[in-house]
Structure 1
């Protein structure tokens, strides 16, 4: 592995060329030359130099994150021959979008029970970030909406669950007593959506209900806790997955809006087609199918409710 990567990562960690040199056991001039060589080859600066030290540039931060992952993978790979457990090491999992990370709770708990030497590196982001990270090998497994990764020959996509979203409102909401003949009748009420909850087909469905030219028909709120606060205090419509909607906690506060049915969303785990998944990744994929594939998606409701009540 290129020693320049190790030295650049050390500079990013310590914010200082001299401290990085001490950490990796070379001279400061050697570290300075290594970083300069990398910047010349990359065509952009990795660090901003200041009177107080150095900080990564935006491009540099991305570079250093990838460099750290490469160094970690190399150390993991070289150490595997000494380990009795082939599942040992770092398992990098991406969840795109992060609003569905609850799907990992039960499978990860079981994975760590069976293979305690696994070390997790969990990343969340947008579907565009998910495609890029999986393409570059920055995650071993990507969890996301099936339409994000399906029909792309470079990926192997395996469906393991289908999320059924429900719309919900506060008790006493005027929509509960309306004569609703079509979902468009409810377009007078704004809906609350996280920015990455939909795929293209779902976005088209919302456009048919609210109109393609409307810009004021939704609130964009990532936090489900804040979504519930807005639903409780206004006539806005919220969206929740069926697993959480079935909890006693949720039913006590809200009511499902049965006249506003939302389309289901298949979820898959994706890996790179040309790479064989490492044992820990294969074990997680199998657990996702076993846990969510029998009776629909399962979440750790106790912890989800506890986190929501904080």
Structure 2
């Protein structure tokens, strides 16, 4: 978490060089230890200052802002005002809206998800698929190679049968052939959809990179769609196409990999929401496997 009243040095000096004197600084971090985000107000209006937790996340986010985010259109995502590799910091314009919440009426929530689908399609198509295939293959390899490590770390939260089921599902990925690829967001779910009641905007691109497009639907498939299948239908209406049979199989496999990762990460970091998502996914995959 950050100090909500001021920016630390030398970050403050750099930001004021770009934006001029600041009138107000407000903490906008996520409730986790390595999140450093501030909303700042100066003579040029409101901006966000974000310090990436790791160099790789800084590199991914700055690349996404330069190459993919402009395809979303004005006002549909923040714009990169400036960045500092030395500080791992970005200055971003502010966009209107708050993270989408379940309290919204169904009609408004569906409108937001339809727009989100449209934005995600533009983002995915910011990089032609043939240029993303090598990196997409690497994502598939990483899902496989990291699985046993995650299962070992989550051993207190997985039975032998559950671990075997996750391994079996993830092992199907190579046999599905090359999956449609492009620029994926990497953390696509309601937390990163800003909604002002009329318009949806997409934020938080630190996990963006080329890869298999279907992997972008895992967070929604494991946290939201089981209870709200109508939102899946609406999002794909906006997206403009359905998943292929191979992508549907890959979505299950990526969900299995995500569940192992969640059960390795959540308990270790005291994150009850991530842990619950992992457990719910494992339970659902086991039930579906018995049908």
What TM bracket, shorter-length normalisation? under 0.3
TM-score w.r.t. length of structure 1: 0.24
The structure that has the greater radius of gyration is: 1
Q: Which has the higher strand share?
A: 1
